[in-house]
A and B are shown apart, each in its own frame.
Chain A
Amino acid sequence: MVNLKTTVAGVEFKNPIIAASGTFGFGREYNSFYDVGMLGGICSKGLTLEPRQGNDPVRIAETPSGMLNSVGLQNPGVMHFIEEELPFMKSLGTVVIANAAGSTESDYVKIVGILSDSDVDMIELNISCPNVKCGGMAFGVLPDGVYEITHAVRKACKKPLIIKLTPNVANIVDNALAAQRGGADAVSLINTVVAMAVDFKRRKPVLAAKSGGLSGPCVKPIALRMVHECYKALDIPIIGMGGIMTGTDVGEFMLCGAAAVEVGTANIFDPYAGERIVNELTKLCECDNITDVSSIIGGLKVE
């Protein structure tokens, strides 16, 4: 019997697989395909203080081994989430993480305050969304910005605080350290890579927003490198993500130092992906005589 339990910032997960923000709604849609309560956790769609309609379509482009999206934080607002979606999510029997975003520092502080008084188990701060004009990634690019927003939010945050980092930076280790210094309980990485797709016939970008966030297997090597480097430098735990499609992918991220992982794009390719990846991770551990999955965290052998 494999023990798949893992702990991030004092919160216990029954397994390391968390549905990533923006790919899983609030869990309802996929729950009609399998019991999503079997996942380690679910991270909500990115929430803002007020409802947002997001960007104009086209919002998706297929790319080699991945996809671009430019949704632009469409969401029903944090109060709707707390009143209409959170009770359902809490009934699933899995860790509920609220992903929070804003345009200004005061937005971030306010939304984190509101979520702190709700039943969410953890808060993931989205300072790395590439698809909104103000806020979003603006806070996440420079280490000073990461420190300041983390520090400001920390005071209002009564829940374990995860800072979600963007890979579109000079040195992600500096940003991760800034989050740690600012009081983060964990970091999650990587958000999507800013990218573009071109429709040659129309002489136009595929996405109406011109550029979007690249995700899927094509970004996995970037994410693995960044998780590995951050793990060496940080004292706080890491939630790894970026193109995870299989149980073996989860194992690779954990070896690089991830205490848990988020699975995103795989859900879009196949609604059963989360369940399949949990089962694959179990089999991987059984075949490799791993009795406790958390024992492999950071176990990458580097000469």
Chain B
Amino acid sequence: MKAIKANLTVTKLTRFAGDVYRVECASDDSLPQISAGQFAHIKVPNKDLRRPICVYDNTENSVTFIIAQKGEGTRSFVERGEGARFDALLPLGNGFPIMPDITNVAVIGGWTGCAPLLKIAKDNPWINCTALLGFPNAETAKVYGDDFDRYCKRVCYCTDDGSLGYHGYPTDILTEIAPEVVYVCGAMGMVKTVKEFCAARGTLGFASMEQRMGCGVGACLVCSVKIERDGKIINARACADGPVFPIKEIVV
């Protein structure tokens, strides 16, 4: 779907533990179709470079982002609060490919990395989706409310301190699920474990990757992700070749 520059207004901004915000926005114009895993390139106040943020959820005229306040750009963005207006290029990049003949699916994410995964289950209700979601603790899991419980067949919350659900990493319980395809977004360690799982089982896997980004549309070649393709290691563009790549191609 062709990307547009959407003019958005923050309608609801909620802060959760660990300085992670749920930002709901209304769009002036109707939005194009957005696939799970695609992102928006957001203009933040007082900064020139845009910030790539995945689309968590959307309707025809609204879009929700999960934004971790990490640096000056995201801070100035969340500080303006509700009513703030900004523009965003969206939808950008390639999302998670959905296999029409595969129903037994696992989505696996770490904290803010869970955000691009919801739409996989929500937009494809026929999928038998198990969500393995990792968080530092119970408080930080609250940013997603019961969204994953509503759209996934089964949700396993995993926490580093055991305060919610399984005490450990979501990758620990991947073997119990035996999915036909795995979709992952999280720290490199998580991607690496899932890659090894997929390689050992011959399971199809896709990972959403992150890199510091420039134009967001594929022209400036700064957001490199190392990919192994046809026996060669190449610098692919997170923005235009990704952000979702077949996990077997990702150099970990």
Contact = CB atoms under 8 A, between A and B. Distances in A.
Interface in A257-282: 265, 267-269, 271-272
A117 interface: no
Contacts of B214: 60, 67, 69, 268
Contacts of A233: none
A197 to B, nearest CB: 11
Given A65-B48, A67-B214, A271-B89, A54 B224 contact: yes
Contact of A57 (B49, B219, B222): B222
A69 to B, nearest CB: 6
A50 interface: no
A246 interface: no
Interface residues of B, number: 28
15 contacts: A22-B220, A23-B220, A30-B217, A32-B2, A53-B233, A54-B224, A57-B235, A62-B47, A65-B48, A69-B214, A69-B220, A268-B214, A268-B219, A269-B49, A271-B217
Given A56-B224, A59-B224, A74-B221, A32 B3 contact: yes
Nearest to A206: B212
B221 A54 contact: yes
B219 A59 contact: no
B221 A71 contact: yes
Interface residues of A, number: 33
Contacts of B225: 57
Interface of B: 2-3, 5, 47-50, 73, 89, 211-215, 217-226, 233-235, 240
A54 B235 contact: yes
A65 B233 CA distance: 34
Contacts of A198: none
Given A53-B233, A67-B214, A74-B235, 4 more contacts: A24-B219, A56-B224, A59-B212, A61-B212
A25 interface: yes
A164 interface: no
Nearest to A74: B221
A145 interface: no
A267 B216 CA distance: 11
Contacts of B224: 54, 56-57, 59, 74
Contacts of A65: 48
Most chain B CB inside 10 Å of its own CB: which residue of A29, A66, A67, A71? A29
Contact of B219 (A54, A56, A217, A267): A267
Nearest to A68: B222
Given A56-B224, A57-B224, A69-B220, A62 B235 contact: no
Contacts of A272: 5
A23 B48 contact: no
A160 interface: no
A32 B5 CA distance: 12
A28 B237 CA distance: 15
Most chain B CB inside 10 Å of its own CB: which residue of A22, A58, A62, A66? A62
B71 to A, nearest CB: 9
Which 7 A-B pairs rank lowest in CB-CB distance, beginning with the nearest? A60-B222, A25-B219, A59-B222, A57-B224, A29-B219, A29-B217, A268-B215
Contacts of A217: 48
Most chain A CB inside 10 Å of its own CB: which residue of B50, B213, B215, B234? B215
